[in-house]
Amino acid sequence: MSGSPTTTRDVHRAVVTGGAGFVGSHLCEALLRSGAEVICLDNFLTGSPANVAHLQQDPRFRMIRCDVTDFVHVPGPVDLVLHFASPASPADYLRLPLHTLKVGAIGTWHALGLAKDKGARFVLASTSEVYGDPQVHPQPESYWGHVNPVGPRGVYDEGKRYAEALATAYRGTEDVNTGIVRIFNTFGPRLRADDGRAIPNFIRQALAGEPLTVAGDGMQTRSVCYVDDLVEGVLAMGVTDHPGPLNLGNPEERSVLRIARDVVEATASTSHIVHIERPADDPQVRRPDTTLAQRELGWHARTPWRDGLGHTVQWWRTHVAAAAAPA
C-alpha cells in the first residue's frame, strides 16, 4: 500500500459475514494479525470450515454458524462489520438464485441492523458485476453500468445493486457509517476447485492434465487482483468514513486466453486449450479505474500477476491436488 488512509478508528472487535469463504477467511486472518478479535459468521453454503480451521485455536477468534438471512445477533461490542456473505461465482449463484437475492437484500438488511445496533462501521462487499457488460472502459465508480436484470447473472448483479442502495439509505436515514467497495476479479489460495470461475478452473484442469476450457475465442479481458492486495484495500476502507462506492482491483488487463496460457506455463502442464460456448451476458471487458482508491486510501494492487499465480498454484498442489490423490 502506498501511503495510508486517514484513520478514524481502531478496530478491536470485528464481525465478518461470509467469513469462512474465500475472501472472508483471508479477512479474518488479517484482522487477527492486526490484534483484533474476530467473529466469523457463515452458513457454509459456499464457504468451508476448513478455510478457518487453522484460526480456531486463537482465543480471539469465534466461529458462529448462521445464515444472515435469518436474525443476526452478536453479543458484546463491535467496531467493524464486513459484509461478505453471498454466493459469488456464476456456478454458485446460478445454482442458488433465490438465496443469492435473499442474502443481497435480507442479509444486507440484517448486517446493517447489526452495525446500527453496535454503532459500528459497515463495509459492503459489492462487485464489479454492478457494471455488467460495460460500455465505458475502464470502469469508474461514476459509471452506472450496463446490466441485464433478467439475464442469468441478474440475480447476483441486482442483489448487489440493491445492497448498495440499502447501505446508502442506511447511511442517509439511520446514521450508520457505511462504505461500499466494488471488488473486481480476485484470486489466490482457498479458491474452491469447483468454484467455476476461470482461474480455479484452469488450475484444476492443468494439474489434472485435462484440456483448459476457454469460453468463446478467449479475447474477452479480465483484470485480476491477488487476494492479499484486496484484503489490504478492504481493511483500509474499514478504518475510514468514506462512503464509497470505491473500486478495488488490479487495473492490469489481460485476455482470458492469455490467463489460460499463463496457467499452463505456471503449472508446467502438458494440457492444451479448447474453446467452448461463451455464457450469456459474459462481459467483454472488465477493468477498474482505481484512481479513487489510490487517492482516498493510498491503496493500489502490488502483487505481480505471475507471483500471485505462483503462490496460488503452490497452494493448490499442497492442499487440493494432494488431498485428491489416491492413498
Element (H, E) at 30: helix 22-33
* Integer Cα distance of 109 and 319 in angstroms: 36
DSSP string, 55-100: GTT-TTEEEEE--TTS-----S--SEEEE--S--SHHHHHHSHHHH
Residue 171 lies inside a defined structural domain of this protein: yes
Contact predicate 81/110, CB 8 Å: no
Q: What is the pTM of this model?
A: 0.94
Residue 66 lies in domain: 13-191+226-251+287-303
Q: Of 80, 113, 120, 121, nearest to 241 (Cα)?
A: 121
* Integer Cα distance of 44 and 30 in angstroms: 20
Residue 318 lies inside a defined structural domain of this protein: no
- The partner residues of 52 in beta bridges, in order of sequence, read none
pLDDT given at position 6: 54
pLDDT given at position 125: 98
Positions of the chain with pLDDT lower than 50, given as ranges: 1-4, 327
Residue 314 lies inside a defined structural domain of this protein: no
Instruction: List CB contacts of 296: < 8 A, sequence separation 6 or more.
Output: 5, 240, 242, 246
CA distances from 150 to 65, 308, 326 (A): 32, 35, 44
- For 244, phi then psi, to 5°, come to 70, -165
Helix (H, G, I), strand (E, B) or coil at 9: coil
pLDDT given at position 1: 43
Residue 170 lies inside a defined structural domain of this protein: yes
Torsion sign (Cα): 115, 119, 125, 129: positive
**DSSP structural state of residue 146:** B
Helix (H, G, I), strand (E, B) or coil at 285: coil
**CA angle 300-302-306, nearest 5°?**
140
Total domain count, the chain: 1
CATH number at residue 118: 3.40.50.720
Catalytic site positions = 156
Helix (H, G, I), strand (E, B) or coil at 207: helix
Contact predicate 200/260, CB 8 Å: no
Q: Which three cell numbers stand for residue 16?
A: 465478518
* Integer Cα distance of 224 and 54 in angstroms: 27
Contact predicate 231/26, CB 8 Å: yes
Rg, C-alpha atoms of the chain: 19
pLDDT given at position 319: 86
- For 135, phi then psi, to 5°, come to -105, 0
* Integer Cα distance of 166 and 145 in angstroms: 18
Residue 274 lies inside a defined structural domain of this protein: no
DSSP string, 243-284: ---EEES----EEHHHHHHHHHHHHT----EEEEPPPTT--S
Residue 4 lies inside a defined structural domain of this protein: no
Residue 184 lies inside a defined structural domain of this protein: yes
Residue 277 lies inside a defined structural domain of this protein: no
